[in-house]
Amino acid sequence: MIDFQNVTMVYDAGNRALDSISLHIDDGEFVFLVGPSGSGKSTIIRLLTAELVPTSGSINVNGYQLEKIKNRSIPYLRRTVGVIFQDFRLIENKTVFENVAFSMRVIGASSKQIKKRVPYVLDLVGLENRGRRYPNELSGGEQQRVAIARALVNNPSMIIADEPTGNLDPVRSYEIMMLLERINALGTTVMVVTHERELVNRFTKRVIAIDEGRVINDGMDGYYINEEN
Amino acid sequence: MTEWMGTISMKRIRKLGYLFKEGVHNMFSHGFMSFAAIAVTVACLVIIGCFSAILYNLSRMVNTLERENRVIAYIDESYDSQTAKTVETAIRRLDNIQEAKFVSREEAGARFIEQQGGGEAYEGIDANTFLDRVVITLEDNAKMDETVQVISQVQGVDHVNARTELAKGFTTIQRVLNIASAAIILVLLIVSLFMISNTIKLAMYDRRDEIGIMKMIGATNRFIRFPYFVEGFLIGVISCALAFFITWGIYDLIAAQIQRVDALQLFDIVPFLNLLLPMVATFGVAGLFVGVFGSVMSIRKFMDV
C-alpha cells in the first residue's frame, strides 16, 4: 500500500520536485505513473525507497511511515518493495542464479531455501535455462527478466518498475509488461513508471499522470494523458 | 519462543558464515589491491620490527653500561673495618639504592693491583693507602645527583665519587631512543593504516554500483560492511605473519654478521627467540589494528551511498 498525503519535495538547490501531492495505491493494484522528463517521477521512486525524506507531508509504504523512518528500518522497508530499473543493475560477475540468490542471502535465507526458491522464480520469468549464464551473455529483455526475478524472489508486497522497458524493443517491452501483469495477478502490487504512451495505452490500467510535481490526472481509463492529448 | 530464537540465531550464523566467505572471496578478487595492501603493511611492519629490535638491543646495552656507572662512597679513614661496615647498612636503607656492597681497603688494594696487571712494582703497597668503601648501584641513575647528596650526609662517609655527567648522558640517550622509537613506530603505523584504508576505499569505489544494488535490495549496513571488515582483518593477519618471519630472518642474519666481526664483539645481541613474545604481540596488535581499523575507516565514508 502506498499513501502520499500533501507531499512536497524541495531539493537543497531550491528545485521544487513535488508540490503537495496526494495519492493512494491499494494492495494488489496495477498502476502506471506517467509524466514527461523532470515531472517528478524519479523523485516519487526515491521517496518510496526512502532514499529521500520529504520536505513536508506524510508517506506510508507497506506500513512504514517514511517521513520519520529510522535509518536502521530502511533495509526492512526495501525488502517489502522490489525495484526494477531501466538499466537492470545486475552484478556482472555473478551468474543469473547468483544475482537472484543474492537477494535471498541479504535476508539470511539458507542454501536449501535458495535452491528451492530461485529456480521457481527463474521459471516464473521464463529464464529456467539461463541460471548459469552471466548478465553480459543475455539479451536486454532477458536481463530485465533477471532483474524482475531478483525483485520478486523475496516475495515483496510491491514491485516498482522504473522505466523497465526503456532499453528494450517494442516486442520485448510488451513481453515485460505482460510478465508484470502476471505478477500482479498473483497478488503483488505493481507500479510502473514510464513515459511510453503506446505501451500504457495497450493496457487498461489505472494511470496517474504527473507534471511539474503535481498530479494532473488519476483515472482508470487506461490512457496516458499529457499535453498532446 | 525457544524455537523462534533458535531460528534467529541459525539465520545469524548462516549469514556470518556467508559474509566471512564473501570477505575471503573479496580479498582474492581484489587481487592486486590486496597484494599492494599486504606488501605495504609487511614493509611497514618489518621496518617497525627491525627498528624495535635494534632499539631494544641499544637500550639494553645502554642499561648495561649504566649499571656499570656505580657510585662509590669512601668511608672515613678513622673508622675501623667493623664500624665501616655499618655505613653500608645505613646506605642500603636510603631511597633509590638497588645494591650497596662494602669493599674493605684490603680488597680494594688487591683489586687495584689486579687491574694494573700485578707485577713487582706494586708489591709492598700498604692497604692503608686505600679507603674502605661502599660500591653502590642506583635504581634510577637519572636521580644520581640527589642520591649522591643524601649519601654524602650519611655518618661515616668521607666523600662520594660519582660520574653524574655520564649518568646524565645515558639518561639522555635512553630518552632520545624512547622518543625516536615511539615517533617512528607511530608514523609507520599511520602510513600502513592509510595504505590499507586507501586500498579498501578503492575496492569499495570499484564496487559502489554493487553496494548500491545491495542497499536497494534491503541489505543492512552491517551486511555490506562485514565482508570488507573480514578482508581488512585477513590482510592484517597475513601481513603480520609475513612481517614476523621476514623480521626474524633479517634479525638472525644481522646478528650472525655482527658475531662474525671481532670489532663488534662488544655488541651483545639478544637472540630473536628472547624477543619472540613481545614481537608476536606487537605484530599481532599492529597488524590487526591496521587491518581492521583501516577497513572500518574507509567503509564509513562509503556507507552513505
Q: What is the ipTM of this complex?
A: 0.85
In this complex, do A107 and B218 lie within 8 Å of one another by their Cβ atoms? yes
Using only the alpha carbons of chain B, give its radius of gyration.
31
Q: What φ, ψ does residue B194 adopt, rounded to 5°?
A: -70, -35
Q: Point out the residue among A72, A75, A89 whose CB comes nearest to the CB of B218.
A: A75
CB B223 within 8 A of CB B15: yes
Q: Point out the residue among A108, A110, A150 whose CB comes nearest to the CB of B217.
A: A150
The CA-based dihedral angle spanning residues B120, B121, B126, B128, taken in that order and rounded to the nearest 10 degrees: -130
Q: Point out the residue among A93, A106, A108 whose CB comes nearest to the CB of B217.
A: A106
Q: How confident is the model at residue A130 (pLDDT cuts 50, 70, 90)?
A: very high
In this complex, do B213 and A105 lie within 8 Å of one another by their Cβ atoms? no
Searching chain B, which residue's CA lies closest to the CA of residue A155?
B217
Give the distance from residue B11's alpha carbon to the nearest chain A alpha carbon, in angstroms. Answer: 6
Say if B280 is an interface residue toward chain A (CB within 8 Å): no
Searching chain B, which residue's CA lies closest to the CA of residue A112?
B14
Is the pLDDT score of B171 beyond 80? no
Cell of B251: 634479525
Give the separation between CA A71 and CA A83, rounded to whole angstroms: 19
In this complex, do A79 and B217 lie within 8 Å of one another by their Cβ atoms? yes
Quick check: helix, strand or coil at residue A163? coil
Q: pLDDT digits over B250-287, tens only? A: 988 888 887 777 666 666 778 888 888 888 888 888 77
Strand partners, A5: A58
The CA-based dihedral angle spanning residues B127, B129, B131, B137, taken in that order and rounded to the nearest 10 degrees: -90
How crowded is residue A175: how many other Cβ atoms within 10 Å of its Cβ?
A: 17
CB B103 within 8 A of CB B197: no
Give the separation between CA A194 and CA A213, rounded to whole angstroms: 15
Q: What value does the mean pLDDT take over residues A84-107?
A: 90
In this complex, do B220 and A93 lie within 8 Å of one another by their Cβ atoms? no
Residue with cell 518510496: A48
The pLDDT value given to residue A10: 96
Q: In terms of C-beta density within 10 A (0-12 exposed, 13-18 middle, 19 or more buried), how is residue B118 classed?
A: exposed
Tell which of B9, B213, B216, B217 to mutate to test the A interface (max A CBs under 10 Å): B217
Searching chain B, which residue's CA lies closest to the CA of residue A150?
B217
Give the separation between CA A149 and CA B205, rounded to whole angstroms: 27
Cell of A89: 543493475
Q: Point out the residue among B12, B209, B217 whose CB comes nearest to the CB of A78.
A: B217
Q: Point out the residue among B18, B210, B218 whose CB comes nearest to the CB of A76.
A: B218
Q: How confident is the model at residue A33 (pLDDT cuts 50, 70, 90)?
A: very high
Give the distance from residue B59's alpha carbon to the nearest chain A alpha carbon, in angstroms. Answer: 53
Is the pLDDT score of B155 beyond 80? yes
In this complex, do B14 and A103 lie within 8 Å of one another by their Cβ atoms? no
In this complex, do B14 and A110 lie within 8 Å of one another by their Cβ atoms? yes
**Which ranges constitute the DSSP H helices of B155-220?**
164-206, 208-216
**DSSP structural state of residue B292:** I
**Beta-strand relationship, A189-194 and A30-34:** parallel
In this complex, do A75 and B219 lie within 8 Å of one another by their Cβ atoms? yes
Residue with cell 647498612: B89
Name the residue type at position B259: Q
Interface of B with A in 185-244 (CB under 8 A): 209-210, 212-221, 223
Report CA A219 to chain centroid distance, whole Å: 20
Q: pLDDT digits over B76-90, tens only? A: 888 887 888 888 888
Searching chain A, which residue's CA lies closest to the CA of residue B224?
A106
The pLDDT value given to residue A51: 92
The pLDDT value given to residue B213: 87
**Beta-strand relationship, A214-219 and B71-75:** unpaired
> Which DSSP helix (H) or strand (E) runs through A99?
helix A96-106
Smallest Cα–Cα separation from A179: which of A116, A123, A223?
A123
How crowded is residue A147: how many other Cβ atoms within 10 Å of its Cβ?
A: 27
How crowded is residue A28: how many other Cβ atoms within 10 Å of its Cβ?
A: 15
Say if B9 is an interface residue toward chain A (CB within 8 Å): no
Say if B168 is an interface residue toward chain A (CB within 8 Å): no
Smallest Cα–Cα separation from A180: which of A171, A169, A172, A190?
A190
Q: How confident is the model at residue B3 (pLDDT cuts 50, 70, 90)?
A: low
Say if B304 is an interface residue toward chain A (CB within 8 Å): no
Quick check: helix, strand or coil at residue A51? coil
Quick check: helix, strand or coil at residue A59? strand
Sheet holding A16-25, edge to edge: A16-25, A2-10, A56-61, A64-65
Is the pLDDT score of B74 beyond 50? yes
- Using a CB-CB cut-off of 8 Å, the residues of chain A touching B215 are 75, 78
DSSP assignments along B275-290, one per residue: HHHHHHHHHHHHHHII
Give the separation between CA B305 and CA B292, rounded to whole angstroms: 21
- Using a CB-CB cut-off of 8 Å, the residues of chain A touching B28 are none
Is the pLDDT score of B240 beyond 70? yes
Q: What φ, ψ does residue A228 adopt, rounded to 5°?
A: -80, -20
**DSSP structural state of residue B132:** -
Sign of CA dihedral A4, A10, A15, A16: positive
Say if B253 is an interface residue toward chain A (CB within 8 Å): no
Cell of B54: 635494534
Q: In terms of C-beta density within 10 A (0-12 exposed, 13-18 middle, 19 or more buried), how is residue A45 classed?
A: buried
Separation of first and last alpha carbons in chain A: 30
Percent of chain B with pLDDT strictly greater than 70: 88
- Using a CB-CB cut-off of 8 Å, the residues of chain A touching B29 are 93
Name the residue type at position B81: S
> Which DSSP helix (H) or strand (E) runs through A17?
strand A16-25
